[in-house]
Structure 1
Amino acid sequence: MIKSIFVGNLAWSAEDDDLRSFFEECGTVIRVRIMKDQETGRSRGFAFVDMDADEADAAIETLNGKNLMGRPASLSEAKPRAPRR
């Protein structure tokens, strides 16, 4: 089963490869999605990383608060998006 990890406090300059490298010490990264502003294309400061559920749990436990490009990574299990009104 695949689990999505929410990555907050992301450096503005972070790229997909940076996140992939950061998480690969805990397992195989399936997908990385850095959320970007639709108008400017700039990072919004958060991302989602998909991994196998067991590896995702280990990554959250191991990497939460660790330095990711000069900032402490804020990691948690991603929650489903609330419906828009």
Structure 2
Amino acid sequence: MDKNKIFVGSLPWSINNDSLKELFAQYGEVTEAVVIMDRETQKSKGFGFVTFATPESAQKALEMSGKEVDGRAIVVNIAKPREERRSF
């Protein structure tokens, strides 16, 4: 499991990769920030992932969970590997 990577949910539609990176840069060096886009519409699906240089930064970033960004309370968790997320 990648302890450097967080899942960010309930993102406002206005957030893109750059603004997601800026939002979490206060917690440490961000090596990657990706907003997941719908393949057909190219619009945000309202969630993304941020990868930090260190697990400590990712842990600190969990403080953002519940904080309001552009009118929406975002959800922040340590990212789970794809196979762990499946519930069926």
1:15: how far off?
Answer: 1.0
CA contact (8 A) 1:22 1:68 kept: no
Q: Which runs of 5+ in 1 are unaligned?
A: none
Structure-1 separation of matches of 2:83 and 2:3:
20
SS of 1:6's equivalent?
Answer: strand
1:32: how far off?
Answer: 0.6
Structure-1 separation of matches of 2:69 and 2:36:
17
Aligned to 2:61: 59
Aligned to 1:76: 77
Structure 2 residue 1 is the aligned partner of structure 1 residue 16: no
So what's the TM-score if we normalise by structure 1? 0.87
So what's the TM-score if we normalise by structure 2? 0.84
After superposing on structure 2, the runs of 4+ consecutive aligned residues of structure 1 that deviate more than 3 Å are none
Structure (1/2) with the larger strand percentage: 1
Q: Which runs of 5+ in 2 are unaligned?
A: none
Alignment coverage as a number of residue pairs: 83
- CA RMSD, 1 decimal: 1.8
1:2: how far off?
Answer: 5.9
Correspondence list, 1:29-68, <5 A: 29-51=30-52, 52-60=54-62, 62-68=63-69
Post-superposition CA distance 1:31-71 (Å, at most 9, x none) = 011111111111111000001211000111x2111122221
Matched letter for residue 69 of structure 2:
L
